Structure formats: C-alpha cells, structure tokens
Amino acid sequence: MSVLRRSGPSPLGDSMNVSFEFFPPRSGDMESQLWESIMRLAPFGPDFVSVTYGAGGSTRQPTLATIKRILEETELSPAAHLTCVNASREQVDAVAREFWQAGVRHFVALRGDAPEGIGTAYNAHPDGYRNAAELVAGLKAFADFEITVSAYPEKHPESPDFMTDIDMLKRKVDNGATRAITQFFFDNDTYERYVERVRRAGIYIPIVPGILPVHNFQQVAKFAGLCGASIPDWLATRFEGLDKDPQTRALVAAAVAADQVMDLVERGVQDFHFYTMNRAQLVYAICHLLGLRAPKAGGTVTSIAAA
C-alpha cells in the first residue's frame, strides 16, 4: 500500500493524523461510490477508517460485508460502529463475536439513536445495554478490542447539563474506551472549552475533532438542529446564495474546513476524523489544502488482490 508523503513545506508539519468515516451502501450505485471514495482517500494513510451501523442492526450485513472487503482488499485498518438500539445483550454480543471472527479489532461503540429518528425519546431494550458505557464494558469483557466512543462539545441533546454528559464520557473511559470522536462543530472555541472541561474531570484520552465538510448547507443546518450542534452566523453567510452553484459551494466548503483544521492545529490538535458522507472529492481537496500528499506513482492505491 502507498505511504503518505508530504512534498514541500506543509502548514501542518509532519504531525497530522487523519481517519475517515463511511457508511455501508444500500444499492449497487452506492456501493460503487463508496469504493471509489475509499480508494481515493486511502493513499493519505489514515489511522483507521470507520463504517457506520444502522439503528437496531439494520445495516449489520452491509457493514460486515464492507469491513470484510476492506480487510481483504486493502491495507487499511477498519473500525466497525456498533450500537445497542433495539437489541438484547445476547444479540449485541453475537454481533461482536461475528465481527471478531471476521477480523475486526476496533469498535466505535455508540448507544445509537432511537429508531424513530434523532430527537425522539430513546428507550433501552429491557435485556440490553442501556448506554454506551455498558456497551464498552461488554465489548471489553469479550475481547481486548480497541474502543472509540463519541463526545459532544455542545453536549448530547438528551443530557440535562454538561456535568451529566461528561460523567457519561468518564464512565465510558473507565470501562475501557481509549479515544473519543466528537460530534461535528464549527466553532473551535466551543471545542477548546469542552476539552478543558473534560481534562478537569480527569479524562485524558484523545478527544478527536469530528470534521464535517459542508456538501449541502441546508442539509447540514437541518441535521445540526436535530443533534444539538450550532451553526454560526458567519458560516451561513459563507454559503448564502450558493444553493444552485455546486462548484462554488464545493470551493467554499473546502476552504472553510481547511481553515477550521489549521486553526485547531495552531491550538495543538494533531488528530482529525472526517465525516466523508461517502464523497471523496471534497475531503481529498481539504487534505490537499492541509499539506497532505498522496503518492504520485500510480495515482491511487490498488487493492492487494489486484496488485
């Protein structure tokens, strides 16, 4: 597999680490887009790539199939998302066992959203894991998985206050989580204040910023409203009048995300997780703006099977 190369002076030096999130395909066309995206971004040498998991296991087989193909055809390190929505402990443990047998050694452990959608009341399965902290403990009891969890710079929308939210993160860490990836945000001061709160609570695992490139501002704004993330006025102004101008919108989106990451680097952040939405072009442009370079020879990573 090609190795990450940086040519010339990079605004980030040689210390930036990236990871990418993908979701499993629901059709043949979506599968083609997913794999084009994976192979386009693979040359940047991500620490890992994560594959999401639908509520109640609705994408279990597509998630597993995607993970298996990543393991078989690339040298990327995959992380499987796992939730405990609408499932007993026995069912969740069975999924973990199946993923272990397939070669998964890294989980992104999440409680998950209610099946009715973000913003609706969550009710735990009577025989299931009640939250992500319990899920982490269950996974660690089964095997010594690497476990990543979620974090919320503007607090989880269901948490009554930051103390409750950070206490949940601490429980996840105490049960074995070694990394947290944040919900997306656009105000770096908000992230920095959150990390300060987390450190004061005695939590010292990496709090990796989750970066969401704005492919469609209206969709991002709607999703932000559901998950409790704020949209700064300056961001809305940047995308004003570009709804029917996708080319300019993409240029603006790349510049916005690159500026956000470079500012975070100046604040001492080195690790970044990109929510790709299975679209490589914008994320690729952002990584290029940040000084990362894929190898020139061959242009893209080929699969092991094709090598």
Domains identified in the chain and CATH numbers: 17-289 (3.20.20.220)
Residue 262 C-alpha from the chain's centroid: 19
304, pLDDT greater than 80 = no
Look at residue 284 and tell me whether its pLDDT is greater than 70.
yes
Contact between residue 276 and residue 37 where contact means Cβ atoms under 8 Å apart: yes
Residue 306 pLDDT > 70: no
Judged against a pLDDT cut of 90, whether residue 176 lies above it is answered with yes
The reported pLDDT for the residue numbered 8 is 41
Among residues of the chain, what percentage have pLDDT more than 70? 87
Tokens standing for 170? 């601490």
| Residue whose structure tokens are 């001061």 | 189
Higher pLDDT residue, 305 or 265? 265
Q: What are phi and psi of 192, to 5 degrees?
A: -65, -40
What is the per-residue pLDDT across 43-58, written as a single tens digit (0 to 9) for each?
999 999 999 987 666 7
Task: Give pTM, 2 decimals.
Answer: 0.89
Side chain identity, residue 154: E
Q: Residue 17: pLDDT above 70?
A: yes
Asked whether the beta carbons of 19 and 268 are under 8 A apart, the reply is no
Say how far apart CA 10 and CA 254 lie, in whole Å. 17
For the chain, what is the radius of gyration of the CA atoms? 19
Please compute the mean of the pLDDT values over residues 72-96 and round it to a whole number: 93
238 vs 303: CA distance, rounded Å: 39
Instruction: Kindly give, in sequence order, each residue whose CB lies less than 8 Å from that of residue 54, ignoring residues fewer than 6 positions away.
Output: 24, 60, 63
Mean pLDDT within 4-10? 40
| Each residue's pLDDT tens digit, 184-239 | 999 999 999 999 999 999 999 999 999 999 999 999 999 999 888 999 999 999 99
CA–CA distance from 41 to each of 37, 45, 63, 68, 205 (Å)? 6, 8, 19, 18, 26
pLDDT of 4 reads: 38
Distance of alpha carbon 10 from alpha carbon 40, whole angstroms: 21
Interval 153-171 mean pLDDT: 94
Q: Hey, how many other C-beta atoms are within 10 angstroms of the C-beta on 203?
A: 20
Burial (Cβ within 10 Å: 0-12, 13-18, ≥19) of residue 116: exposed
102 and 143 Cβ atoms separated by less than 8 Å: no
pLDDT of residue 60: 80
Of 21, 75, 192, 266, which one is the catalytic site residue? 21
Q: What is the mean pLDDT of residues 26-30?
A: 86
Active site residue 158: no
Neighbours of 79 (CB within 10 A): 27
293: confidence class by pLDDT, cuts 50, 70, 90: confident
